[in-house]
Structures are given as structure tokens and as C-alpha cells.
Structure 1
């Protein structure tokens, strides 16, 4: 579904990505791993048209480089940024409404689906999003993106700063996406969750992909883990 080839990205004169290449198939969870500063978040932003870049971003046969982020989103790509970006003065329900592509709905996800998946959001649906806990805000951001009915969702550090129980909940949520046939590109630092739910793992270092394989292969590769992942 998603094919990345020879992707280079720039912030002004800074050359951040150096020929990144990988693909994500339908219903596949691919973990994009690496230390801070390795280029993982920039890769996500490049796919979504948020940074200057060259190369090939092919989404279901359509080249998307040069398109606006909202145009890319309407093609079926969802993006959950690391900083969550909720609308703090709007209620939980209003935030979810803003995620819909159409006021008529019609996607594969409904408000009831979101509230069933995360009962805590149902309890707080009339609460302003700005007073939610960090975990609740992460749930809300994930659900708001799903309301746009994406076929592939890019999630940047979904477990950052969350309690262990909420991390487990996020992991279960991602498995449910896969069951629904939705592809996931998961940017994550916590190896435990990434390795337990992913079909394939990619490791980034210095703006390039330095490893691609199964989680089991990565577990067995002590050199890659020490050189590119362990602090």
C-alpha cells in the first residue's frame, strides 16, 4: 500500500533523511524504531507532506510528494503526532466530530465504536479535552484520527509518558486496528510493545534504515540493538 523509495528530507539547509526506503502492506503493523534524532518523526512528517523532501512516496499507486497534508489525509492516510494536538477548549465528543471526513459519517468507525474501545472517553465525552490526563488525551487523539476512516495510520510515540496499564491498552487498540484491516506504521521507543505487536521492524540511524526484518530477527541481532537502539 505504502512504498517509500530514496526519500530525502530537509529542514532548511539541514539534510535529515538520507535515502530512506521501506514499504507497509495492507493490514500490517510495521514498527519504526531508533534513538531520538534518528529521523523517525521526520519520516512520518515527510509522508504526510509536512517537510520539504525528494524521492518517492507512493500510496496505492499514487505519488503524493508535493500534495498538501489535508489532501494526503483524504486519500486514506491518518497521522497521530507525538504532541497529540487535541483541541483543549472543545469537549471529547467535539474533538471526535472534527476527525470525521464527512458530517454524515459513513466510515467504518462510529462514536459508539470509540466509546466501546475506550470507555473512559465515553465517561468524559462532555468534558473539555484540555483537562484530560495524558493517557486520556492520547486515547482521544488516536480515536479522532480513526474517525477520519484511514486505511493506514502513522502513530508517533503513542506510549510516551503513559502508565504501564495504559500502554497495554494502546497495544490492544493497535491489534484491533489490524483486525479491521488497517495498516499501522508505529514509531516507538519502547521495544517491548513494538516487538510484541509488529509484523516487521525497521531501525533508523542517522536518517537511514539500518535494519529491516521480523521482531524475532531483531531480538537475535545483538549488534543492531547495541549500535542503534540501546542507550
Structure 2
């Protein structure tokens, strides 16, 4: 589905990504791990057309490099940024409504699905998003992206600052996506959730991929964890 080759990205004169190669297959959860500043979020932004970059980003065989973010989203890639961009003056339901993508095919997800997955959102359905807790805003951002019916969802630090029970909910949510045929690129610092639900793990360091393998292979590779992940 998503195939990235020799990707370089820049913030002005600062060269952030240095020849990233990676792919995400159909119905796969891939965890992209690394310390802050390693280039994980920049990789997501490069895929979505939000930073200057060169190389190759192929989505279902089509090069999306140079396309506008809304064009990339309409091709079937959803993006959940780490800063929980909700529309604060709109209600929970209105935020979800804005996420809908009008197309001829039947969407995989409905309002009922969202409220079943996260009952707390149903309770807050008519509440302005700006007064929700951090965990509730994270749920809402995830669900709003899903309402656009993406085939791949890129999620940046979904468990940051969340209570353990909400983290468990997010893990269940991601597994529910895979069960419905949605691929996931999960950008995470927490090894626990990534190792528990991902099919493959990638580790970034200094803007490059320094490890690729199964969660089990990463568990057994103490040198990689020590050098690139552990504080």
C-alpha cells in the first residue's frame, strides 16, 4: 500500500530525514519507534505533504509527493497528529460530522461505531470539544479521522499523556481498525503498546531507519533498544 523510498525532508535549511525506506502493507500495523527528534513525526508529515521533501512516496502505486494534504487524504490516507487538533467551539458530533468524506462507496464507519467504541464520546455528544479532557480529545481526533474512511491511518503518539485505562482503549481501537482492513502506521514512544499490537517494528535514529523486524526480534535486540530507544 504505502511504499517510501529514499525520503529526505527539510525544515528550511535543516535536513531532517536522510533517505528513509519503509512500507506498510494491507491490513498491517507497523510501529515507528524512536526518541524525540529522531524524525518519526516528520516522516508522517512528509507522507501527508506537510513538509518540504524529495524521494518517493508511493500510495497504491501512485506517487503522492508534491500533492496537497487534502488530495492525499482523499486518496485514502488518514492522519491523526499528536497535537489533537479538534475544533474547540464545535460539539463532539459536529467534529465527527466534519470528518465525513462524501463518496459513492459505503463507509466502513458510522457515528454509532464511534459511540460504541468510545461510549464517553456518546455521553459528550453535544459538548463543545474545547472543554473535553485530553483523553476525550484524543478519542475524538481518532474518531473524526476514521469518519473519513481511510485505508491507512497514520497516528502520531496517540497515548501521550493518557491514563492507563484510556491507553488500553486506544490499543483495542487500533486492533479494531486492523480487523476492518485498515492499515496503521503507529508512531509511538511507549514500547509496551507498540510491541503488543504491531506486526512489524521500525526504529528511527537521526532521521534514518536503524532497525526493522518483528516485535519479538526487537525484544531480543538489547543493543538496538539501548542505543536508540531507552533513556
Q: TM range, normalised to the smaller chain?
A: over 0.9
Q: Partner of 1:63 in structure 2?
A: 63
Deviation readout 1:3-42 (Å, 9 max, x if unpaired): 0000000000000000000100000000000000000000
SS of the aligned residue for 2:159 comes to coil
Q: Partner of 2:75 in structure 1?
A: 75
Is the counterpart of residue 168 in structure 1 residue 168 in structure 2?
A: yes
Deviation readout 1:167-201 (Å, 9 max, x if unpaired): 00000000000000100000000000000000000
Rounded Cα–Cα distance in structure 2 between residues aligned with 1:175 and 1:159: 14
Rounded Cα–Cα distance in structure 2 between residues aligned with 1:133 and 1:157: 16
Q: Partner of 1:150 in structure 2?
A: 150
Rounded Cα–Cα distance in structure 2 between residues aligned with 1:84 and 1:147: 16
Under a length normalisation based on structure 2, what TM-score does the superposition of the two structures give? Answer: 0.99
Q: Partner of 1:84 in structure 2?
A: 84
Q: Partner of 2:114 in structure 1?
A: 114
SS of the aligned residue for 2:72 comes to helix
Aligned residue-pair number: 231
Q: Partner of 2:97 in structure 1?
A: 97
How much has 1:101 moved relative to structure 2? 1.0
Residues 145 and 206 of structure 1: is their aligned pair in 2 closer, same or farther, counting only changes over 3 Å? same
How much has 1:218 moved relative to structure 2? 0.2
SS of the aligned residue for 1:84 comes to coil
Under a length normalisation based on structure 1, what TM-score does the superposition of the two structures give? Answer: 0.99
SS of the aligned residue for 1:7 comes to strand
Q: Partner of 1:28 in structure 2?
A: 28
Residues 111 and 103 of structure 1: is their aligned pair in 2 closer, same or farther, counting only changes over 3 Å? farther
How much has 1:102 moved relative to structure 2? 1.8
Q: Give ranges in structure 1 of 5+ residues lacking alignment.
A: none
Rounded Cα–Cα distance in structure 1 between residues aligned with 2:98 and 2:129: 13
SS of the aligned residue for 1:176 comes to helix
Runs of 4+ in 1 over 4 A off after TM superposition: none
Rounded Cα–Cα distance in structure 2 between residues aligned with 1:44 and 1:33: 12
SS of the aligned residue for 2:55 comes to strand
Deviation readout 1:126-173 (Å, 9 max, x if unpaired): 000011111100000000000000000000000000000000000000
Query: Superposition RMSD on alpha carbons, in Å?
Result: 1.0
Q: Give ranges in structure 2 of 5+ residues lacking alignment.
A: none
How much has 1:103 moved relative to structure 2? 8.7
Rounded Cα–Cα distance in structure 2 between residues aligned with 1:43 and 1:187: 10
SS of the aligned residue for 1:32 comes to strand
